[in-house]
Structure 1
């Protein structure tokens, strides 16, 4: 009887552990945002400074960025990591080109996923 009780207890613990792992799996994976910056012809733009803000006021005033600004790579990409699942505001600028309010706000990010957004600078 004790042997059966131990098996049941062990099985119960295993089931609880699996349940906790499944219900908290999204919390284990970071919420990231990959931004691809394109020019008006649809080509990737390298060397664009991309800054991310969490409020419209900070975006308008260009203060208190969520993380340090990043420069796009040869594929026009930057990735911001470990974000909250909410909308963000993006400023992308290279010389006299920018996104000038176009596509500046993202949709709310999906938790535990690599979210992807394209921004066009003109």
Structure 2
């Protein structure tokens, strides 16, 4: 009898867990900082899907500008690694921090990029 009561409960848990992943889009919150650790407002941030696109600076997946807190938010991304270029004036992130690891599907992912 206990087995019959547990089975529906387990099925409901599995259904809820699967639905949770479908409710939330994969997103990325990126903070841009300078080499002193200060946030950078007004930096242009571009995400690329491949290293080749990143190196040639073509086929930008998404692009936005950081807010007054140095933050930019990208929504509805594919759960995969991205290459990033962050620039403001003569500062950029070349030489380090160009790749963001694979994003977790259905999660609010976070990363920080240093420009110098």
Normalised TM-score (structure 2):
0.86
Give the distance between the partners of 2:71 and 2:35, measured in 1 at CA. 16
Secondary structure of the corresponding residue to residue 111 of structure 2: strand
Q: Match for 1:53 among 45, 48, 54?
A: 48
- Does structure 1 residue 80 correspond to structure 2 residue 74? yes
Q: How large is the RMSD of aligned CA atoms in angstroms?
A: 1.9
Which residue in 2 is equivalent to 1:97? Answer: 91
Gaps of 5+ in 2: 1-7
Which residue in 2 is equivalent to 1:113? Answer: 107
Q: How many pairs are equivalent?
A: 111
Structure 1 runs, 4 residues or longer, greater than 4 Å off: 14-18
Superposed displacement of residue 44, structure 1: 0.1
Listed one character per residue, the Cα deviations across residues 13-32 of structure 1 (whole Å, up to 9, x for unaligned) are: x9756632322321221100
Secondary structure of the corresponding residue to residue 66 of structure 1: strand
Secondary structure of the corresponding residue to residue 35 of structure 1: strand
Structure with the bigger percentage of strand: 2
Give the distance between the partners of 1:53 and 1:17, measured in 2 at CA. 39
Normalised TM-score (structure 1):
0.82
Gaps of 5+ in 1: 1-11
Listed one character per residue, the Cα deviations across residues 21-64 of structure 1 (whole Å, up to 9, x for unaligned) are: 32232122110001100001000000000000110011111111
